[in-house]
């Protein structure tokens, strides 16, 4: 069972060195990078982090979890959408609402952690 991160700080691995207080986006399963656009940002790295190391990221919002819909696929770093049966999908579908950005990948039935999108305010 997944554990929800309510304290707002989460560790991510950084492929490249990053400076404290830089906006970050998800770049793969449990990985982050400097955000290329403001819309993709999920939080702010709290410490200078060398390439290949983990850094603490203060998330804009606590993370959430969703179950991937039947025949669905979610890719880390991509948007996730709520569908009418209470599950999530990784591609925009009719009547779907954008929830946030996936932190890990998953297939049908998997539990995927996601961070609500900053621009949903």
Residue 87 CA: distances (Å) to CA of 39, 74, 96, 109: 23, 11, 10, 9
Given a contact cutoff of 8 angstroms between Cβ atoms, the answer to whether 81 and 99 are in contact is yes
Given a contact cutoff of 8 angstroms between Cβ atoms, the answer to whether 35 and 25 are in contact is yes
Task: Reply yes or no on whether the pLDDT at 3 is more than 60.
Answer: no
CB atoms within 10 A of CB 2: 13
Task: Reply yes or no on whether the pLDDT at 97 is more than 90.
Answer: no
CB atoms within 10 A of CB 60: 19
Given a contact cutoff of 8 angstroms between Cβ atoms, the answer to whether 112 and 87 are in contact is no
pLDDT attached to residue 6 = 60
Interval 99-110 mean pLDDT? 94
């Amino acid at each position: 069972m997944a554990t929800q991160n309510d304290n707002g700080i989460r560790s991510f691995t950084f492929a490249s060195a990053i400076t404290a207080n830089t906006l970050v986006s998800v770049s793969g399963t449990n990985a982050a990078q400097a955000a290329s656009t403001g819309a993709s940002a999920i939080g702010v790295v709290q410490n200078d982090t060398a390439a290949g190391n983990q850094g603490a990221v203060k998330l804009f919002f606590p993370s959430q979890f969703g179950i991937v819909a039947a025949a669905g696929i979610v890719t880390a770093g991509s948007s996730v959408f709520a569908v009418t049966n209470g599950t999530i999908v990784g591609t925009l579908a009719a009547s779907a609402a954008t929830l946030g950005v996936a932190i890990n990948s998953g297939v049908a039935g998997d539990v995927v952690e996601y961070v609500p999108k900053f621009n949903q305010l």
